[in-house]
Amino acid sequence: MYKIIYSSLLLSTLSFSNVVVPSSGSDLKITIYNNNKAFINDTRKVMLKAGHQKLVYEGVPSSVITESVVPTFTGMHSKLYSQNYIYDLVSLSSMLEKSIDQEVAFYSNEKEPTLSKGIVLSASPHVMIKENSTGKIFTLSSPTQVIFSQVPVNMITKPSLVWNMEAQKEGEMGIDLKYLTRGISWKSDYVLNLQKDVLNLTGWITVNNNSGVAYENAEITCLAGEVNAVPEQAVYTKSRGFGSRIAPVMEMDAVQEEAFSGYHIYKIPFRETIANKEQKQISFIDKKEVKYHQYGNYINSYFEKGAEQKLQFSNTISFENKKENNMGISLPSGVARMYQKDSSEATHFIGEARILNIPEDENVTLAIGTLFDAVGEKTVTKYVAKKHYRNVETTYNVRNQGKEPLELRLVESIPVYGNDITLKTSCKDNCSVKKKNAFVREFIIHLKAKEEYEFTSEFEVNY
């Protein structure tokens, strides 16, 4: 088997007269956003020589937004002449491309291969080399038959920032590096375990890192809210699939939530390493005995003549996000998944819904599916439409075919805007009506097991 041979990567042109910034002693802070971006703030120290030199900061993510890089140098007087981001990484294919028209050593294709030298003519789709001694052109069976004597100019093993700078004297200098990178994001995931009338809520911060590097022992902050970003022009690249692994679940340790500049931030109270191609989950909310309300919901905004229409009621969970209800916290957007035990104490998944950013003291309403036993029909029983006038009556028939009581809510959104609106309804007894605004009203119907209820709703509008 042929093996590719690199003669010491330390011979790279990035190392012979350069100073590599050590990663030891790094103080790394990360602020992660919902839009697949993160702000990195890394401080390090390095010993400089006097005079001109190149300072190499290794381990910059391949997804870095180079225009956002801001280095600050402290502790000694120095001049920064230029900054370069070098990301041409060492690989067999890239080294072959860089070696075209250059001399390399190679093994021939014979059963007992001999070592020769020649000039690389082509690297793809096949490696072709012109042998020095005979002038023959060899097409190699495998690119691993090539032996490289050195790493080509400007190729490195990991993406790096290179600063061309001058120090007045030898000594220690501090580096405070700030930049934005793509490829890191976070989201909220919620688990709601429902019991009779109360629920337990657990919230998880889920961090995904596909930026190309790991972040060792970092102080992590997650920012909830929509941070504006300038749209980029479309750039078409080869797609890359990333595997992921879920880090072991950690016990919650008082994640600190704070209002900040119109957003909300969540500070993880311990440092953590985020590996590349890793999904990490950190518990940040744990609330018990939260009172909730469950009901069926239907919204009607169609009032034209036509055939009878079936009613379907969404299975809706609602609770108050208030301290009096064991809540009173800011809930960043995410997916809430609900679970409940049956009569035999077996737990089942009963639905999920997306939560938008919900501030403290606001209600949380989640539509998690469709109620099975709540059925009904609506029929337009009167329809008068004239110029600047409309009069519509709708008859609703709703039924609870289950064995447990149900609360059904039917919301009417009148599609006509006018100066003179008259509303009528036969809703009474176990039906009540709530006027939400001039054009929207909500009917609340309480049905016992196997109970049926019918009522009418009418509006008359002059416009």
CATH of 92-147, one of 2.40.10, 1.10.10, 2.60.40, 2.30.30: 2.30.30
Residue with tokens 């054009």: 439
CATH of 293-321+362-462, one of 1.20.120, 3.30.43, 1.10.3470, 2.60.40: 2.60.40
Q: Are 295 and 344 in contact (CB under 8 A)?
A: no
For 175-220, the pLDDT digits (tens) are 999 999 999 999 999 999 999 999 999 999 999 999 989 999 999 9
Residue with tokens 């909300």: 264
How high is the pLDDT of residue 77? 86
Q: Which residues sit opposite 301 in a β-bridge?
A: none
For 258-308, the pLDDT digits (tens) are 777 778 888 888 899 999 999 999 988 999 999 999 999 999 887 777 778
Which residues, 6 or more positions from 387, have their beta carbon under 8 angstroms from its beta carbon? none
How high is the pLDDT of residue 22? 85
| Rounded-to-integer distance, Cα 231 and Cα 61, Å | 21
What is the CA angle 240-242-248, rounded to 5? 170
| Rounded-to-integer distance, Cα 256 and Cα 86, Å | 38
Which of 83-92, 145-154, 170-179 is the most confident on average? 170-179
SS3 232: coil
Mean pLDDT computed over 325-329: 94
CA distances in angstroms from 350 to 122, 228, 314, 371, 452, listed in the order given: 60, 35, 13, 11, 26
| Rounded-to-integer distance, Cα 52 and Cα 120, Å | 36
For 385-422, the pLDDT digits (tens) are 888 888 889 999 999 999 999 999 999 988 766 678 88
* Dihedral of the alpha carbons of 71, 74, 78, 81, in degrees to the nearest 10: 0
| Rounded-to-integer distance, Cα 42 and Cα 178, Å | 7
Give the residue with greater pLDDT, 395 vs 247.
Answer: 395
Mean pLDDT computed over 99-119: 86
How high is the pLDDT of residue 290? 97
Residue whose C-alpha is closest to residue 382's, from 395, 363, 396, 373: 395
Is the pTM higher than 0.85? The answer reads: no
